[in-house]
Structure 1
Amino acid sequence: MGDPDRTWREDVSRLAWLRLALAAGLVMGMLLSPNLWVSARSYPLTPLWDAVPPLPYPADYALFGLFLALVTGVGVARGRAVGWLAATALALAVFFALGDTSRLQPWFYQYSFMLMALCLFGWGRIGVLDALNACRLIVAATYFWSGLQKANMGFFHSLYPWLVGPLTARLPD
């Protein structure tokens, strides 16, 4: 049987690397799509809830920067600070999503759900292994749902032939 302390330390290390990867991925995704997260842009906002007003310039940029700072903090902080930073980032994520449905990108809500697991871990509500397993489940469920969405007639009749067309064109008759 292995050393339980060593296993626990490895799980803590995995979670630390996961926090860094999650923070880097979310920050980079948002930096690659900055116009999506601010109110001043060429296409209109489509709010989920009209009670959430669009933020004027420069408040929208300030909130965008605050969100990036909070997520970065989740990646580098330790202890209970992770929980509070993640909770505040999640509150801003909900605000962003309520302000515009275009912001509900799969990568964004996947990272948000994973932030929720880190929040619970940071507050001591769940253990290291539970946080890792929750994040594993979120990733697996996202891929499963993505695959399930492709199991429709439109995909098989339109997209699939186009997708494999270059391969089947090279096959002998």
Structure 2
Amino acid sequence: MNTNVTLKPFKGDKLFWVRLFAFFAFLIPLIISPRVWISERLFPLVSVFENLPIPSLSVDIALILIFLVSFIIFVFKPSWKFGLPIVLIYVFWVLLDQNRIQPFYFEIIFMVLALTMFRENPKVAKQCILLILVGTYFWSGMHKCNTVFFEKWANGLTKRIPFVPSWMRLTFTYAVPFLEASFGVFLVFTKTRKFGIWLITIMHAIILTTFLIEGYGYVVFPMTLFNVFVLFYLFYNKSFSPKELFSLKHPKAVLFFLIAIIFPFFNFFGLYDHILAFSYFSGKPKYCKVYFSANKDIEALPSHIRYNVRNDQGKYYIDLNEWSGRTIGLLVYPEERVYRNIQKHINGYLDAPNTYLEFY
């Protein structure tokens, strides 16, 4: 046996391990929440465009199989022949249901796109991956600069560590956005990159430990671990100057600069979605309940929707996150257009709908 050929993916292709871990980072959430990818389910699809054809169960399964087979082959043979189907199928899934736009999905797809576009130029592929990670942590921090986040974070610290002096809790609360944003900035510079990687690792360890204690959020674990792996594996001991990072010599690399660095800024003006802008746990995305003005409307609902109706002091409502969490294992994509689409779906079962939305 020619061992040089056998070991080539391990010795000659440093990005092999990135592709392999990317595959598992997508596969595990897919296994944890399989109903996300099935069209015939108990939570409505929220399509980008109306009247898109809805796939049958057999087509859904075929798409999942093609996606996974293409992805695993892409791990060993990163070419357009296998990378493009991964990206296109995911785009099709998102067009069918915006709730599939989740960070632990689309960040992986962005990286697959970079690894495909620059399969012959590993340095530019790494540049695009680092841009995505810089944008993720910088903007995730900056979007936390708002009163809702400060209020929720301060209340959370008061409940968990009431023994710490209040001035210390408040100081830390107001520092959190700038601390996280600084982690992204640290990744830009060679001299601070190692420090930034360790701070990001510690931050993720705290977050994952909290999720373990609270018993939720397992779907984000693979992506979190993948990010940390990529930072250590590709960038911890490698010099990658700011000039190289922000060099736009390759026109295709501009796409990743826009996605990771420029577009998230427009979220401050309501011109770009919260999740796509890396606005994670920021308090800015609003969640939603659908209230029923007439109690008789409850009886008109099919049983799978009526099961989610709650009563609070005589007011009947459905918490959309509770409904989606129970049926597809994810939170609703937090944009008002999505909530109104789901409200429209509910109203379709009522003779004279008079529902209204309440955000929280």
Same fold (TM over 0.5): yes
Q: 2:14 aligns to what SS in structure 1?
A: helix
* 2:154 counterpart of 1:161: yes
Once the two structures are TM-superposed, the CA of residue 51 in structure 1 deviates from its matched residue by 4.7
In structure 2, C-alpha distance between the alignment counterparts of 1:18 and 1:133, rounded to whole Å: 14
Q: 1:138 aligns with which of 111, 124, 132?
A: 132
In structure 2, C-alpha distance between the alignment counterparts of 1:144 and 1:40, rounded to whole Å: 38
CA contact 1:118–1:131 (8 Å) conserved in 2:
yes
Structure 1 or 2: larger helix share?
Answer: 1
Q: In structure 2, what is the equivalent of residue 149 of structure 1?
A: 143
1:148–1:54 Cα change, 3 Å? farther
In structure 2, C-alpha distance between the alignment counterparts of 1:18 and 1:113, rounded to whole Å: 13
Larger deviation, residues 94-103 vs 13-22: 13-22
* 2:111 counterpart of 1:114: yes
TM, length-normalised to structure 2: 0.41
1:118–1:141 Cα change, 3 Å? same
In structure 2, C-alpha distance between the alignment counterparts of 1:101 and 1:109, rounded to whole Å: 11
1:69–1:113 Cα change, 3 Å? same
Identity of aligned residues (%): 27
1:128-169 CA deviation, whole Å, 9 max, x = no partner? 111112112112212222222222111001x21233224541
1:61-140 correspondence runs (5 A): 61-75=61-75, 77-78=76-77, 81-122=78-119, 124=120, 127-140=121-134
Gaps of 5+ in 1: 1-9
CA contact 1:12–1:128 (8 Å) conserved in 2:
no
1:71–1:165 Cα change, 3 Å? farther
* 2:36 counterpart of 1:36: yes
1:51–1:119 Cα change, 3 Å? farther
Structure 1 or 2: larger strand share?
Answer: 2
| Greater relative contact order, per chain length (Cα 8 Å cut-off, separation 6+) | 1
How many residues in Structure 1 have an aligned counterpart in Structure 2?
157
1:56-76 CA deviation, whole Å, 9 max, x = no partner? 11111211222122122222x
Rg (Cα) greater in structure: 2
* Paired residue type of 1:121: F
* Paired residue type of 1:129: K
Once the two structures are TM-superposed, the CA of residue 82 in structure 1 deviates from its matched residue by 2.9
In structure 1, C-alpha distance between the alignment counterparts of 2:92 and 2:38, rounded to whole Å: 12
Once the two structures are TM-superposed, the CA of residue 12 in structure 1 deviates from its matched residue by 5.6
In structure 2, C-alpha distance between the alignment counterparts of 1:141 and 1:97, rounded to whole Å: 22
1:162–1:84 Cα change, 3 Å? farther
* Paired residue type of 2:162: A
Once the two structures are TM-superposed, the CA of residue 110 in structure 1 deviates from its matched residue by 0.6
In structure 2, C-alpha distance between the alignment counterparts of 1:142 and 1:12, rounded to whole Å: 29
Q: In structure 1, what is the equivalent of residue 177 of structure 2?
A: none
Q: In structure 2, what is the equivalent of residue 57 of structure 1?
A: 57
Gaps of 5+ in 2: 1-9, 167-360
In structure 1, C-alpha distance between the alignment counterparts of 2:11 and 2:48, rounded to whole Å: 38
* Paired residue type of 1:162: N
CA contact 1:27–1:71 (8 Å) conserved in 2:
no
Larger deviation, residues 38-47 vs 10-19: 10-19
* Paired residue type of 1:116: L
Q: 2:124 aligns to what SS in structure 1?
A: helix
Q: In structure 2, what is the equivalent of residue 23 of structure 1?
A: 23
Q: 2:47 aligns to what SS in structure 1?
A: coil
1:137–1:172 Cα change, 3 Å? closer
TM, length-normalised to structure 1: 0.81
